[in-house]
Structure 1
Amino acid sequence: MTAARPAPPLSRNRDYQLLWVGQALSLFGFHGYAIAVPLLVLAATGSAAASGLVLGTIAAAQMVAGLPAGALADRWHRKAIMLSCEAAQALAAASVVAAVWFDAIHIGHLLAVAVVIGACAALFDPAEDASLPTVVTEEQLPAAVSMNAVRGLLGHVAGTAVGGALFAVGRVLPFVVDALTHAVAFVALSFVRLPRPAPVPRERRHLGREIAEGVAWVWRQPAIRVTALCALVLNLFFSAFYVVVLVLARDGGVSAGGIGVMAAMLGVGGVVGALAAPYLNRVLRPHVSVIAVFWVLTALTPLAAVLHGGPMLGALFFAMALLPPTANAAVMTRQLLLTPDRLRGRLTSVLGLAMGASAAAGPAMGGLLAQALPGAGAVLVCAAGMAVATVAVTVNRALRTISTPVVDHNPTEGKPDMDDDATYEVLRNDEDQYSLWPLGHEVPAGWSRVGKEGTRDECSAYVDEVWTDMRPRSLRERMGADTQP
């Protein structure tokens, strides 16, 4: 019998690095496309309405496909889904290249491409998120989630800037770059090793029931439900606040360039916060980091009513963006570990749909507030909405369970909110990972009792004895297959 190989650190995790680099390029290309296509429509038709319609179709297609896509990500091979999405987007971008090159630009064609892009985003995101716990170890998952956030923010900032510059040089260039980045991402993904999901018997396949199962799962988990509802309200009012501040800056005489710098500071703050998130997640309990984000945003929002000038408002945006990546990484890590693998795609799609809806409604609400309550009034309404969500998330005790069942096998570490004098039982999940759980509490879905009860020290000693390989079962199987001749 040979000893199990230790998992490589995240910086040398071949599969994660391939996935990260490929998607960094893919996102760079997408955001370059997203800034160039409305400019292309304006140049070809002169219609701002048509330009907005094309961009809006991407978001609409993503929302419509969201829930079915999550169910399909739990049914189909996730690597095949991601490869198909990259191939489809590369071909769609190539069709736009041809249309621009031959001066055959038609709104119908661009709308069809927008549908493809939105549907691919809806399919790709849950497939990637659900795959992440099988690519990295449990200990690496918070850092991996944080680095994925960095990837998204950098892709947005760099892709937008370069896409606009390329369009100014030549209309076809940003679309060429988009097609190439998706092609490279396809190649990188083809070398990523992912386990195949357990097959779903054909007689049990029913898309509607699978979607309902995912929605019901999210709703039945108190910690997930509370954080999702409060984050939805916070996201709604922050999106509204963002528009209100832009209007206040314009009315205060800030130039268009200054407003652009303000908006960029939000992205810069997010990148800095995402880079700091792995460290902060080691020193802050998950529920503390979540509550801290709500209080910080609630406290900083009213300052926009008294701050003047682009630099001051940009600094405010920067400060407000620092902590959310830490809370997002903590929450997403616990959600993925709590959720059985067969439901992870649906978890992502349900939460993504809720957040997408609030992000879409927020700017519209912000515009209405800025028009109805000029000056500080609109800012204070946004602050009041955030305050309601902050109080709700602070007083709700279910949030404190967000740290379980992520429990380290070492009895002296990684067990927040555990009482040495209480009685516990040992649970095991489908990935052969173990956890201590307070006796008498409902066992979460995806976990089962192993029959061991006792004090914290007794249960921890049992886990030390039986849990000799910390890698998830799917990761062990994949690494074992790699060593076969």
Structure 2
Amino acid sequence: MTAPPLSRNRDYRLLWGSQALSEAGFAASVIALPLLVLAVTGSPALSGLVLGVDAMAQLVAGLPAGALADRWNRKKLMLGCEAVYTLAVASLVATVWLDVVSIPQLIAVAAVMGCCRSLFGPAEGATLARIVPTAQLPTAVAMNSARGALGQLSGTAIGGFLYGLARAVPFAFDVLAHAVSFAALCFVRSPRHEPVPRGEGHLGREMAEGLRWVWGERHVRVTVLCAVSLNFFFSAYYIVVVVLARDRGITAGEIGVMAAMLGVGGVAGSLIAPWLQRRLSPYVSIMSVFWVLTLLTPLAAVIDDGYLMGALFVAMALLPPTANTTIGTYQLLLTPDRLRGRLTSVMGVIGGVSAATGPAFGGLVVQAVPGGGAVVLCTAGIALVTLVVTFSPTLRHFPRSDALTAAPAEPQPVGGAHSADVPTTEENQP
């Protein structure tokens, strides 16, 4: 019998809704943190340092996080992350309210935030494939992408507004958001996953196994290399565009709208991704992203209006969610459940490295090559990756995710129509 739609999947709704709220809370804190550091110290360098600690903590904890998500009870791991995150930010609320906040505490809280998010991601990614039927997994992956974009957009706006009311308020909102998320996660029924086999209890070996899996699967390896290369050049391009916009006299308000439009395009693209993913072949859905970016990115060299640039960003962001849905669904279905946490963590670490190095490269490029030349240079990098994707035999024969529908690793959904089909679940209480 056909499984009920995601809108009636209780466990998916709880997981999606709780994390939409958490994402908004985190985004509110991220926009308020540098403002708080500036207010306390007056140092832009320290503001960057605090945010950098959060990003670095996510990278450092990334690979161990995936191994731990495959070793431990995933639901308890998610609950633990939410609880520790809530307590860390609550301590910040208290010290800001009492006007005794210090830089060491801000750095410590940022590190805890990064570690908790790094640990939570693989556990949630692996759990998603266990509570959603295989046929609905592409839609769930796309909706998770939309959730992230929505959370970032709403949280950034909320955080700026709340900080204007009082310094502690955006962090208090973050605490409330994660406390509610913790409560919702308590009621998610998460199926047990395969335990780590006897004799494989060494964390280093488990991390290495995850890396070997990603590198050993040809389709996974090629898509990762192409995506990382694209992310590197596009994140560099983004910094170049922002700097050029400032140099051309575009106001800060227009630059803010321009940046927000990238998120708006991502949300819209995520909403249409399930429909496109069913109608386009995997090769076309992946290749189209690279060609659209190759054709659109040079236009920034001649655009001197922030709103037009924002419209260009919307167009650029529409198709990537479809490709991400195609690739992400295939990877989850291909990967054995006992390795899914490590798959997610490896993807996160690799993406984090490109996201961290790309802006630095962009800053160097725009400083060395003034004007539109920096845009052209970044476009050339994207075009080179596009040619590799276009002529890649691996991507030309990228399989559809429904080819794995009958794979043994397919989970039975929790919260489906028949209770007899529900597997043994982990504890419903923390």
TM over 0.5: yes
Give the drift of 1:288.
1.2
The answer on 1:93 being equivalent to 2:85 is: no
Aligned ranges for residues 382-393 of structure 1 at < 5 Å?
Answer: 382-393=378-389
What do the CA deviations read for 1:282-333 (whole angstroms, capped 9, x no partner)? 1111221011001110111111112221122111111101100111111100
Query: Using the alignment, how far apart are the partners of 2:407 and 2:354 within structure 1?
Result: 36
Pick aligned residue for 1:479 from 405, 422, 427? 422
Specify the alignment match of 1:55 in structure 2: 51
Aligned to 2:25: 29
Task: Verify the 8 A CA contact 1:32 1:162 in the aligned structure 2.
Answer: yes
Q: Which residue of 2 aligns with 1:217?
A: 213
The amino acid across from 1:139 in the alignment is A
Does the 8 A contact of 2:78 with 2:124 survive in 1? yes
One of 270, 273, 277 as aligned partner of 1:277: 273
Q: How far has the Cα of 1:400 moved from its partner?
A: 3.7
Determine the C-alpha separation between the residues in 2 that align with 1:69 and 1:131.
Answer: 14
- Cα distance, 1:195 vs structure 2: 1.1
How far 1:222 sits from its partner (Å)? Answer: 1.0
Q: Is the 8 A contact 2:196 2:338 kept in 1?
A: no
Alignment of 1:27-426 (within 5 A): 27-404=23-400, 406-407=402-403
Structure 1 residue 202 displacement after superposition: 4.9
Between structures 1 and 2, the one with greater helix share: 2
Structure 1 equivalent of residue 428 of structure 2: none
Partner of 2:3: 7
Structure 1 unaligned blocks of 5 or more:
410-426, 433-470
Residues 1:431 and 2:410 aligned together = yes
Q: Which has the larger radius of gyration?
A: 1
Question: Percentage identity across aligned positions?
Answer: 60
CA displacement 1:207-245 (0-9 Å, x = unmatched): 111111110111111111111101111000000100111
Quickly say closer, same or farther: Cα 1:83–1:401, change in 2 above 3 A.
farther
Check conservation: 2:189, 2:414, Cα contact below 8 A: no
CA distance in 1, matches of 2:179, 2:287: 41
Name the CA shift for 1:408/1:39 in 2 (closer, same or farther; >3 Å): closer
- Provide the alpha-carbon RMSD of the alignment: 1.8
The separation in 2 between residues aligned to 1:261 and 1:65, in whole angstroms, is: 33
Q: CA deviation at 1:430?
A: 3.5
TM-score of the two chains, using structure 2 as the length reference: 0.95
Number of residue pairs the alignment of both structures matches: 423
1:246 to partner: Cα distance: 0.9
AA paired with 2:173? V
- Whether the 8 Å CA contact 1:337–1:406 is kept in 2: the answer is no
Aligned amino acid, residue 7 of structure 1: A
User: Normalized against structure 1, the TM-score is what?
Assistant: 0.84
Structure 1 CA distance for aligned equivalents of residues 66 and 44 of structure 2? 33
What displacement does 1:379 show? 0.7
Alignment gaps of 5+ in structure 2: 426-430
Label 1:102 to 1:262 Cα distance change in 2 as closer, same or farther (>3 A). same
In the superposition, relative to structure 1, how do residues 134 and 379 fare at CA in structure 2: closer, same or farther (>3 Å)? Answer: same
Q: Given that residues 290 and 382 in structure 2 are in contact (C-alpha distance below 8 angstroms), is that contact kept between their aligned partners in structure 1? A: yes
Structure 1 contact 75–197 (Cα < 8 Å) conserved: no
**Cα distance between partner residues in 2 of 1:218 and 1:479:** 30
Aligned partners of 1:70 and 1:346 also within 8 Å: yes
Q: 1:126, 1:348 within 8 Å by CA — same for their partners in 2? A: yes
Q: Could you tell me whether the CA contact under 8 Å between 1:305 and 1:379 is conserved in 2?
A: yes
Q: Secondary structure at the match of 1:148?
A: helix
Structure with higher RCO (Cα < 8 A, 6+ apart): 2
